[in-house]
Chain A
């Protein structure tokens, strides 16, 4: 399976902003945050098409998201994921003494994962947080 080393950015998008106001359990929110915006040439080199699932792996975890073509390329080897529970799974919690985790410019690896599913919010909470409850 081809892999690509990328720099991972997270941030706001207008769809994520709108989606969160429609409700964190809404379809609009889910669709706005389970995406990974990629450079079309990077997608070509990985052999993934629009809406194919990809696995993004960092030193802190991995998550499956839908690859979408970035509307404003080129940004070779830079991918963008909107803020949300999915992006948070692979963020760097180290604050380097500032209180601020590193949420942008994180080294990551990305690979096609056509057979893996994007987790629903409830499944994500069950899988990663439920066992921690008192």
Chain B
């Protein structure tokens, strides 16, 4: 039995690097310090995977040799005039680099999952600029933390514990104990409510009272957390204050805060469903903090306004920096989605949606982004790696994806691998093979190899190298 410490967790953008794994006979038997998602991955990764390459013959996926699968995949890509190479956020930077070489060779479009994630944030950062930092700075210094349209309790479970409210910083204390006592209060209130409902046979707390004042804890001199979201999440319950914004109204709320920060008056009673008195008090707290931070999630990028919502958030941060110190950071989803943007940018000049069909890289999200290409039904083949677009793309895009030849490189069995024509089972990055990935604050960290992969499961990088070599050979013969 061996205990391996300092393992990086290949799940979400928080990319925790303190995981401890107990390994016995090449099997991970226990996981320490990981969240529910991390533990589920380390303990279950081997239970649902393909062990051999698969090739579709007469409508059925049948086992094939790696050489046969490489041959078929290379032929699909070499024959295609406008193939898509999509995914990348759940693999290593080393594999992504080979993927870019392959995209250039076949003259296709290479896009990554940020196109359906923080793509609009990237567009907005290119327009406005961003005042950001590393997470260590925030852990030690941030005294006002906003989670805007983001729910880290469910999507980045250890973010609050490692980098903000529940972390013991050098200059900011953890608020964990305060949260525990508040949680006890919430639980007792819910119990009392249930009992009262049973006794009185009616919903005694049905109509929530409209709060016109901030709670006392918001005025205390300690680290504070505010959540802005369209619904009350578990993160919102842990916050000192929760602002419930109406769906698709984040832009209005952000612009209202910009006005208040500039000491302008609002001539309305409420904005986006929030009373102006509350907004004024929150704006005062923003201006009065020593170091504030906005962590923003997909609620801004996926709802109406998209990149313009992020524009408003970035501009609010810029305005706040006239009065105090404020920073902003997107809550990136996959463990290497930041890395994929970095590698794409240093290789091609653009972070996602890169089109090589003209022989040089072009970038025009809305035209060269994968959802738009699929909805226009322009792609004639695709290679999907470390991603599951059949499950997560809107129906029209997914249907157009599967009706053309589809190559899937994925360690897991997913709806995409079930619908693919060629499937390469790869080794799990960060468990069975090493590599490099970037945390959400652009800090590169190494992924460790913990156990040996099955012999038939090659690393993503090697599978891509083999396909690239074969494509080059086929294209040489054609020319």
- The answer, among A17, A83, A96, for a CB contact under 8 Å with B36, is A17
Q: Name the CB-closest residue of B to A86.
A: B391
Q: Name the CB-closest residue of B to A93.
A: B394
- The answer, among A11, A98, A121, for a CB contact under 8 Å with B123, is A98
Q: Name the CB-closest residue of A to B399.
A: A132
Q: Which residues of B contact A103 (CB under 8 A)?
A: 116, 298, 302
Q: A93-B371, A129-B419, A132-B402 are in contact. Are A9 and B230 (CB under 8 A)?
A: yes
Q: Name the CB-closest residue of B to A89.
A: B395
Q: A23-B47, A93-B375, A93-B395 are in contact. Are A75 and B120 (CB under 8 A)?
A: no
- The answer, among B153, B302, B403, B418, for a CB contact under 8 Å with A100, is B302
Minimum C-beta distance from B415 to chain A (A): 6
- The answer, among B153, B231, B375, for a CB contact under 8 Å with A70, is B231
B interface footprint on A93-134 (CB within 8 Å = 1, 0 otherwise): 101111111111100000000000000010001001100111
Is B199 part of the contact surface with A, judged by Cβ < 8 Å?
no
Within 8 A of B (CB), among A64-83: 70, 72-75, 78, 80, 83
Within 8 A of A (CB), among B201-251: 206, 208, 230-234, 236-237, 244, 247-248
Is A7 part of the contact surface with B, judged by Cβ < 8 Å?
yes
CA distance A91 to B445 in the complex (A): 35
B interface footprint on A13-48 (CB within 8 Å = 1, 0 otherwise): 110011001111110000000000000010000000
Asked if B248 contacts A132 (CB within 8 A), the reply is no
Among B232, B247, B307, the most chain A Cβ lie within 10 Å of the Cβ of B247
Asked if A24 contacts B413 (CB within 8 A), the reply is yes
Minimum C-beta distance from B229 to chain A (A): 10
Is B4 part of the contact surface with A, judged by Cβ < 8 Å?
no
Asked if A104 contacts B366 (CB within 8 A), the reply is no
- The answer, among B41, B403, B415, for a CB contact under 8 Å with A85, is B415
Q: A85-B391, A98-B306 are in contact. Are A93 and B397 (CB under 8 A)?
A: yes
Asked if A99 contacts B395 (CB within 8 A), the reply is no
A interface footprint on B299-311 (CB within 8 Å = 1, 0 otherwise): 1011110110000
Is B119 part of the contact surface with A, judged by Cβ < 8 Å?
yes
Asked if A99 contacts B394 (CB within 8 A), the reply is no
Asked if A98 contacts B247 (CB within 8 A), the reply is no
Q: Name the CB-closest residue of A to B418.
A: A125
CA distance A76 to B40 in the complex (A): 34
A interface footprint on B361-394 (CB within 8 Å = 1, 0 otherwise): 0000110011110010000000000001011111
- The answer, among B40, B119, B375, for a CB contact under 8 Å with A21, is B40
Asked if B208 contacts A95 (CB within 8 A), the reply is no
CA distance A75 to B390 in the complex (A): 30
Among A25, A60, A90, A105, the most chain B Cβ lie within 10 Å of the Cβ of A105
Q: Which residues of A contact B418 (CB under 8 A)?
A: 125
- The answer, among A11, A22, A72, A104, for a CB contact under 8 Å with B48, is A22
Asked if A132 contacts B372 (CB within 8 A), the reply is no
Minimum C-beta distance from B310 to chain A (A): 10
Is B433 part of the contact surface with A, judged by Cβ < 8 Å?
no
Is A52 part of the contact surface with B, judged by Cβ < 8 Å?
no
For chain B, give the interface size range. 35 or more
CA distance A32 to B167 in the complex (A): 30
CA distance A7 to B119 in the complex (A): 23
Asked if A11 contacts B394 (CB within 8 A), the reply is no
Asked if A93 contacts B396 (CB within 8 A), the reply is yes
- The answer, among B115, B244, B304, B393, for a CB contact under 8 Å with A88, is B393
Asked if A133 contacts B395 (CB within 8 A), the reply is no
Q: Name the CB-closest residue of A to B308.
A: A98
Is A12 part of the contact surface with B, judged by Cβ < 8 Å?
yes
Q: A23-B412, A88-B393, A92-B394 are in contact. Are A133 and B399 (CB under 8 A)?
A: no
Asked if A60 contacts B394 (CB within 8 A), the reply is yes
Asked if A101 contacts B231 (CB within 8 A), the reply is no
Q: Which residues of B contact A93 (CB under 8 A)?
A: 371, 375, 393-397
Q: A24-B412, A125-B419, A133-B59 are in contact. Are A104 and B299 (CB under 8 A)?
A: yes
Minimum C-beta distance from B82 to chain A (A): 16
- The answer, among B123, B153, B230, B392, for a CB contact under 8 Å with A75, is B230
Is B405 part of the contact surface with A, judged by Cβ < 8 Å?
yes
Within 8 A of A (CB), among B227-284: 230-234, 236-237, 244, 247-248
Is B342 part of the contact surface with A, judged by Cβ < 8 Å?
no
Asked if B403 contacts A133 (CB within 8 A), the reply is yes
Asked if A9 contacts B395 (CB within 8 A), the reply is no
Is B45 part of the contact surface with A, judged by Cβ < 8 Å?
yes
Asked if B372 contacts A95 (CB within 8 A), the reply is yes
Asked if A78 contacts B236 (CB within 8 A), the reply is no
Q: Which residues of A contact B155 (CB under 8 A)?
A: 11-12, 17
- The answer, among A18, A84, A101, A125, for a CB contact under 8 Å with B116, is A101
CA distance A103 to B248 in the complex (A): 11
A interface footprint on B103-143 (CB within 8 Å = 1, 0 otherwise): 00000000000011001100100000000000000000000
Q: Across the A-B interface, give the 6 residue pairs with the lowest CB-CB distance, nearest first.
A: A99-B369, A23-B48, A132-B403, A97-B366, A99-B365, A93-B394
Can you offer 13 A-B residue contacts whose CB atoms are under 8 A? A7-B248, A11-B299, A17-B37, A74-B208, A85-B390, A97-B366, A100-B115, A100-B302, A104-B298, A105-B248, A129-B402, A132-B399, A133-B59
Q: Knowing that A9-B230, A24-B48 touch, tell me 11 more A-B residue pairs with CB under 8 angstroms.
A: A7-B247, A9-B247, A17-B154, A23-B412, A90-B395, A98-B365, A99-B365, A101-B371, A105-B247, A128-B395, A128-B398
Interface residues of A (CB under 8 A from B): 7, 9-14, 17-18, 21-26, 41, 60-61, 70, 72-75, 78, 80, 83-85, 88-93, 95-105, 121, 125, 128-129, 132-134
